[in-house]
Amino acid sequence: MALNKSTYWNLFYQYSSVILSIISGILMAPLYLHYIESSTYAYWLASGNILIWITIIEPGVGITLEQKVAFTAGQNNKTELSKLITSGLILCSIILVASFSISLLIQQSIPVILDLKKWPHTSLLQEAFFWASIGSSLSLCTYSLVGVNQGLQHTAYTGLVYLVSQLVGIVISIYGLIQGWGLLSIGYSRAVTGVLYFVGNGLIFLYALQKDTIRLEYDKHYFKSFYKIFSYTFANKMGITIANNIDLIVVSRFLEPSIITQLELSRRPQNIFSGFVNRTTYALLPSMSHSFGKGDSNSVKTIYIQFLKGFIFISLIISFGFIIFNEALLNFWVGAENYIGDLENVLIVLSIIISSYTYSNSNFSFSAGNIKGNSKVGIYRSILYLVLIFPLTMYFGVVGLLAALIISYLATEFWYYQLDLARVIGLKPSEVWQVVKPNLTPLLLMSCMAFYLHNLRYESLLQVVFVAFLFTVFAVACFYLTVPEIRLQVSIAIQKFKRKAIPDQTLNQ
């Protein structure tokens, strides 16, 4: 599958958004802790999980539109495109009204959900929640517009709008904190971000329709067949949203409020890894669906094998890096009291690696049109997680909570997508093993190094950065010396660089 210009722009903006999230995460967390009272911020994090529950209203319309629009565009069927996009717009409008209505109901229920009857700042939390819910509702509606824009390969402007809206939101949040708005600065910034995201993508949508000469056409029978898809995706979205955002609420009910902040801050740096991986395969979705629409599944298989090689290389280095340095990083970033613990840290690393791997596999499966299968396995995982999280958290604390997450992934999505990829792109177990096998030696060497480095005591952030740099050099050297594929890719990269840096005549001489 040849990556077109649109895909490269999509990759650029997806990675830029992750970098922006990293910067904002590093910058904003200490500011929040400084300007917002600790218990208020802890309960805001928990209520943020409730806010994400509103996204249940969006049953995957955006991502489904992206896949179907890209697939149909690959077939050059503009008649179906017109009906498909119109159906998506109708659902977009319904989502906007429903999400905002439900958010108002949830706002009134926050004191009961979080058990805040005696807490003095409940009204402040509810007001911040209201403004944030406006931005969330607009963003949910915008996902449908983004799906159409991405499916039609108009990704450059879409990514730019996302980055600008996020940057403006960060600026407003910082300004509000300095001006003494407290928790309301977060709510206001979310609202402004949602408005900018909605307006910007609306303009791109109108431009895309005009450029591709697509007229909106409503077909009652087509609309019915289209929204029937979401009987599966809605149940999947509801289960995944509740399951993925119930952990902090469970902690607030069964454990101490301080653990909410510890868990959230301890895993925040590690979400950087999952952000990069998830955005990579998400950026490839339109192009992969386009290739499947043309009937070219072999090129997608080639892309998958290359992705798997890169995933193993990066995930091993990043995961061991966080196992070694996360405690020291948090110590100099937000204070040692916000570190969750060594065992919990290892489990966080494992859960993020496994979830990122299964999410990436689901994108490859989804791009082939396996919407129903993806939805079903997501529902099964969510149910299993919800069954396990309450008893395991009650008896084993945060360790039990993280164990419930890992078990739910391994028992459902992990093996399902391997089987499905064998079906849609002809991926054989022997091909996967050939990719995994050479990485066992670097895994062993890095394990030994991690055991030694984790026991060191660091006196400054500069020392942490220096030792982390040495570990990265050591890890890359392990891969280079033991994995033939790495040496081959480095050799190819050097040859390409020489051809660009040195004129052909000079090389010939």
**What's the token pair of residue 332?**
């100099």
395-416 pLDDT, tens digit per residue, is 888 888 899 989 999 999 898 9
Chain Cα centroid distance, residue 423: 26
Domain residue extents for the chain: 38-228, 258-509
Measured over the CA atoms of residue 185, residue 186, residue 191 and residue 194, the dihedral's sign is: positive
17-36 pLDDT, tens digit per residue, is 667 776 676 678 788 888 88
CB atoms within 10 A of CB 21: 17
Is pLDDT above 70 for 245?
Answer: no
Q: Which residue type is seen at 140?
A: L
Over residues 167-189, mean pLDDT: 90
C-alpha distances (whole Å) from 131 to each of 107, 179, 186 are: 10, 18, 9
Over residues 489-496, mean pLDDT: 76
Is pLDDT above 60 for 241?
Answer: yes
The top-scoring range by mean pLDDT among 49-58, 231-240, 314-323 is 314-323
In percent, the amount of the chain with pLDDT more than 90 equals 6
Is pLDDT above 50 for 509?
Answer: no
315-328 pLDDT, tens digit per residue, is 888 888 888 888 88
What's the rounded Cα separation, in Å, for the pair 190 and 137? 10
Which residue's entry shows tokens 């997608």?
300
Lowest mean pLDDT among 120-129, 290-299, 454-463: 290-299
Which of 25, 37, 52 shows the shortest CA–CA distance to 129?
52
Q: Which residue type is seen at 296?
A: D
Chain Cα centroid distance, residue 469: 26
Average pLDDT in the chain? 80
pLDDT of residue 92: 84
Which residue's entry shows tokens 């509740």?
242
pLDDT of residue 199: 93
Measured over the CA atoms of residue 317, residue 323, residue 324 and residue 329, the dihedral's sign is: positive
SS3 content of the chain, % helix, strand, coil (to 5): 85, 0, 15
In percent, the amount of the chain with pLDDT more than 70 equals 81
